[in-house]
A and B are shown apart, each in its own frame.
Chain A
Amino acid sequence: KQEVTQIPAALSVPEGENLVLNCSFTDSAIYNLQWFRQDPGKGLTSLLLIQSSQREQTSGRLNASLDKSSGRSTLYIAASQPGDSATYLCAVYGSARQLTFGSGTQLTVLP
């Protein structure tokens, strides 16, 4: 059974810092990995999708990498802003044809 772990559970940084969120998964037989953002009490916004054949994806200040063989992904956020404060969720889509989510990293960017 696929298990997804995210470290750290919470992170607080001053505005302007670059930061890295980590995600690991136990079963490397995945179709893709998605990073989501969730604001308090809201739904999920898809940030980046990395296909299993890809190594990384970039969108603006966000860069996500995937090392399928080691079961790891990182989300890099450059020049963080207070508006980046949210919970970031990593999820893998695997052979069971469903998404398995990590428990999330709660990010606070201090002005």
Chain B
Amino acid sequence: SAVISQKPSRDICQRGTSLTIQCQVDSQVTMMFWYRQQPGQSLTLIATANQGSEATYESGFVIDKFPISRPNLTFSTLTVSNLSPEDSSIYLCSVVWGTYEQYFGPGTRLTVT
């Protein structure tokens, strides 16, 4: 299995600012994923991040709002830019391991005031 850590675990940010979330995996993985979970909702995939290439964004998510970096096979960052209260969510990173089993980090709880 893969062990995933995220920083920060939670943050409170002001409208108009940005937050960068870090995701660290204890093993090298090809694909990393970023999800958003809005209050009371299930998870929605934001983008898939492969090392050495641009992230692939899902419908409704754009690079200007959610820039992603993937500098190596164990690390990725997601930035949520120009924050608004609607961005208040839990953001989770995940990786696929072995026979397509997916593992998740503990999540970052973002509150925008």
Contacts and interface: CB of A to CB of B under 8 A. Distances in A.
Interaction A to B: yes
Interface of A: 31-32, 34, 36, 41-46, 49, 51, 89, 91, 93, 97-99, 101-104
Interface of A is mostly: strand
11 contacts: A43-B107, A44-B94, A46-B102, A46-B104, A49-B99, A93-B102, A98-B33, A99-B33, A99-B45, A101-B42, A101-B44
Contacts of A42: 106-107
B25 to A, nearest CB: 14
B106 A46 contact: no
Interface in B29-77: 31, 33, 41-45, 48
Contacts of A103: 41-42
A32 B101 CA distance: 8
B42 A43 contact: no
Instruction: Classify chain B: how many residues form its interface, as a range.
Output: 20 to 34
A43 B102 contact: no
Contacts of B45: 98-99
A103 B37 CA distance: 11
Nearest to A36: B104
Interface in B3-41: 6, 31, 33, 41
Contacts of A89: 42-43
B55 to A, nearest CB: 13
Contact of B101 (A46, A97, A101, A102): A46
A104 B43 CA distance: 10
Contacts of A99: 33, 43, 45, 94, 102
- Pick the most buried of A43, A44, A89, A103: most chain B CB atoms within 10 A of its CB: A43
- Pick the most buried of B94, B96, B102: most chain A CB atoms within 10 A of its CB: B102
Contact of A34 (B33, B92, B102, B107): B102
